[in-house]
């Protein structure tokens, strides 16, 4: 079975990932998911496609740390994270974070924290292809 | 002694390659390594000085006081844009 | 096709509901989902099963108003809400709220607001069956 | 003139039924209707006075100033527990 935290080029099933996280305990009362998808517009430019690159080993390690810190710092029962790499078309799934908790507030807080933290500390980079060519995105210049 | 350098995303384009080997004169600090790197790869100098890139050693973030040893993998990481 | 806002006794597919909401526009960049599930414990009591009752017509109307107010008050592109009624076993899905937005913060805010508002204004009631018998839950006494 | 009463959740158990018809002496306010209801269904009196139930008319929340007309559907709604 695939792990709870993964980087992969294939698409993922939201249903399967949510089911895997929600069934870890009968105490789960709320599951919050964040699904990031490939938008067609970025800073006013029309996007044709995206490509994600990652630093293997380090990126997986950082994602795993995010899950562990979420379990330590929020009152959640489980968290799963999947991030895709490689070339993606508009509308495709990029990332999914699923947090399961007894109570919904904890799941919301953990999920929101995890996606912000992912953007901050995980060595993954996005290249956008527009009509003008390709450019590596710098979200935090 | 040598370390392996890795360049990601926009840095690959700036440097023109993804990986390189760099000879070092023995165990040195990350601060000393950065001085060598800025000389060998002038295109990185500004980014390193302005903290426009993070640096990792063996897949873990590293500060200037970190000791660099033979065989270490040192990576230059431009701002992340995952998610 | 089933509507974006529904009350039903059958289970729903998280995958289908998320897909329906995320594909309304190519501008969607983030989709936040809240899935409420039947916990096995409530206020220290072990739950055997749940039963949800609703006020037909009014409950659907209130859910529809929540969607419209979410679209008016948050910068989201679409929202879907499905709530189940009837008898449910532990672990089963109860409610799903899906919010799609250009940027994730708007989707998080709208989704979190919508589930809180649902609990506040939608005429749906939960009966818990424990070893001691059946009791209608009063979350806000 | 008559209105249809509906009782939900725990109120069904208290009243012993889900629905009832109630004769009213003409168009009256919700406040007046509540007075009649409290007399006809004493078990509801306390809940109504302590605002332990909300009231709707024709599937919309209604306040005490609302006018009740022939054929209206008046529902008594204990605290919600959906979600």
Q: pLDDT tens, A109-130? A: 999 999 999 999 999 999 999 9
**Two structure tokens written together for A123:** 């060595």
Is residue D34 a part of any domain in this protein? yes
Burial label, B35 (beta-carbon count in 10 A; 0-12, 13-18, 19+): middle
Range of the domain at C96: 5-136
Burial label, C90 (beta-carbon count in 10 A; 0-12, 13-18, 19+): middle
Is residue A141 a part of any domain in this protein? no
Residue C128, chain D, CB below 8 Å: the answer is no
Range of the domain at D67: 2-77
Q: Residue B2 in 3-state DSSP?
A: strand
Binding-face residues of C in 12-41 toward A, CB within 8 A: 13-15, 18-19, 22-23, 26-41
Is residue B43 a part of any domain in this protein? yes
Residue A102 near residue A75, CB atoms below 8 Å: yes
In order of A28, C29, C52, the CA distances from C81 in angstroms are 20, 19, 16
Residue C74 near residue C109, CB atoms below 8 Å: yes
pLDDT for position C64: 98
Residue A41, strand partner residues: A46
Q: Residue A117 in 3-state DSSP?
A: helix
Segment holding A7, helix H or strand E: strand A5-8
CB contacts, 8 Å: D60 with chain C: 58, 61
Residue C79 near residue C30, CB atoms below 8 Å: no
| Mutation for B interface: A125, A138, A139, A140, most B CBs within 10 A | A125
Q: pLDDT tens, C8-28? A: 999 999 999 999 999 999 999
Is residue D72 a part of any domain in this protein? yes
Residue C106: pLDDT over 70: yes
> How does residue D65 score in pLDDT terms, banded at 50, 70 and 90?
very high
Chains D and B contact (Cβ–Cβ under 8 Å for 3 or more pairs): no
Is residue D36 a part of any domain in this protein? yes
Is residue A33 a part of any domain in this protein? yes
Displacement of CA A85 from its chain's centroid (Å):
11
Is residue A97 a part of any domain in this protein? yes
CB contacts, 8 Å: C94 with chain D: 83
Q: How far apart are CA C77 and CA A127, in angstroms?
A: 25
CB contacts, 8 Å: A119 with chain B: 80-83
Q: pLDDT tens, A82-107? A: 999 999 999 999 999 999 999 999 99
Measured in angstroms, the CA of B76 and the nearest CA of chain A are apart by: 10
Q: How far apart are CA B18 and CA B71, in angstroms?
A: 17
Residue A1, chain B, CB below 8 Å: the answer is no
Partner-chain contact D9 C136, CB within 8 Å: yes
| Average of per-residue pLDDT across A55-83 | 98
Residue B3: pLDDT over 60: yes
Q: pLDDT tens, D12-22? A: 999 999 999 99
pLDDT for position A1: 54
**Two structure tokens written together for A7:** 């980087």
Partner-chain contact A102 C15, CB within 8 Å: no
pLDDT for position A140: 52
Partner-chain contact A95 B82, CB within 8 Å: yes
Q: Strand D73-77 relative to strand D2-7: parallel, antiparallel, unpaired?
A: parallel
Among A38-42, C28-32, C69-73, C122-126, the least confident range: A38-42
Task: Give the whole-number percent of chain C exceeding pLDDT 90.
Answer: 91
Residue B48, chain A, CB below 8 Å: the answer is no
Q: How far apart are CA C82 and CA C11, in angstroms?
A: 9
User: Count of domains in chain C?
Assistant: 1
Is residue B82 a part of any domain in this protein? no
Residue D73, chain C, CB below 8 Å: the answer is no
User: A22: how many CB neighbours lie within 10 A of its CB?
Assistant: 24
User: Count of domains in chain D?
Assistant: 1
Q: How far apart are CA D19 and CA B52, in angstroms?
A: 70
Residue D15 near residue D7, CB atoms below 8 Å: yes
Q: Residue C124 in 3-state DSSP?
A: strand
User: B64: how many CB neighbours lie within 10 A of its CB?
Assistant: 11
Is residue D44 a part of any domain in this protein? yes
Mean pLDDT of chain D: 96
> How does residue A139 score in pLDDT terms, banded at 50, 70 and 90?
low
Is residue A10 a part of any domain in this protein? yes
Measured in angstroms, the CA of A1 and the nearest CA of chain C are apart by: 20
Partner-chain contact A104 C90, CB within 8 Å: no
Q: For C104, which DSSP code?
A: H
Is residue B33 a part of any domain in this protein? yes
ipTM of the prediction: 0.95
Is residue A28 a part of any domain in this protein? yes
Q: How far apart are CA B61 and CA B8, in angstroms?
A: 14
| Average of per-residue pLDDT across D58-81 | 97
| Mutation for D interface: C138, C140, C141, most D CBs within 10 A | C138
Is residue A113 a part of any domain in this protein? yes
Q: pLDDT tens, A15-47? A: 999 999 999 999 999 999 999 999 999 888 899
Please report where in the chains the tokens 């040893």 appear, as a residue.
Answer: B69
CATH number for the domain harbouring residue B61:
3.10.20.30
Residue C139: pLDDT over 70: no
> How does residue B23 score in pLDDT terms, banded at 50, 70 and 90?
very high
pLDDT for position C141: 40
Is the four-CA dihedral B20, B24, B30, B36 of positive or negative sign?
Answer: negative
Q: Residue A1 in 3-state DSSP?
A: coil
Is residue D83 a part of any domain in this protein? no
Is residue C141 a part of any domain in this protein? no
pLDDT for position A141: 40
DSSP characters over A15-83: HHHHHHHHTT-TT--EEEEEEEE--SEETTEEEEEEEEEE-TTHHHHHHHHHHHHHHHHS-EEEEEEEE
Residue A49, chain C, CB below 8 Å: the answer is no
Task: Give the whole-number percent of chain D exceeding pLDDT 70.
Answer: 100
**Two structure tokens written together for A28:** 């789960």
CATH number for the domain harbouring residue C40:
3.90.1170.40
pLDDT for position B29: 98
């Amino acid at each position: 079975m695939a792990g709870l935290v993964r980087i992969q080029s294939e698409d993922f099933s939201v249903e399967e990932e949510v089911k895997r996280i929600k069934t870890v305990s009968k105490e789960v009362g709320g599951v919050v998911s964040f699904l990031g998808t490939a938008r067609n517009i970025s800073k006013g430019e029309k996007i044709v496609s995206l490509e994600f690159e990652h630093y293997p080993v380090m990126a997986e390690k950082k994602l795993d740390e995010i899950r562990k810190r979420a379990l330590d710092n929020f009152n959640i029962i489980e968290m799963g994270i999947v991030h895709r790499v490689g070339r993606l078309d508009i509308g495709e799934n990029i990332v999914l974070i699923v947090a399961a908790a007894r109570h919904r507030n904890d799941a919301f807080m953990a999920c929101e924290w995890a996606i912000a933290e992912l953007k901050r500390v995980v060595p993954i980079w996005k290249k956008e292809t527009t009509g003008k060519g390709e450019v590596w995105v710098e979200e935090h210049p | 002694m040598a370390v392996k350098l890795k360049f990601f995303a926009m840095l690959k384009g700036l440097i023109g390659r993804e990986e390189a080997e760099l000879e070092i004169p023995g165990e040195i600090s990350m601060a000393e390594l950065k001085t060598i790197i800025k000389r060998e790869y002038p295109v990185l100098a500004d980014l390193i000085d302005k903290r426009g890139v993070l640096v990792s050693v063996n897949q873990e973030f590293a500060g200037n006081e970190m000791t660099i040893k033979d065989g270490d993998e040192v990576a230059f990481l431009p701002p992340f844009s995952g998610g």
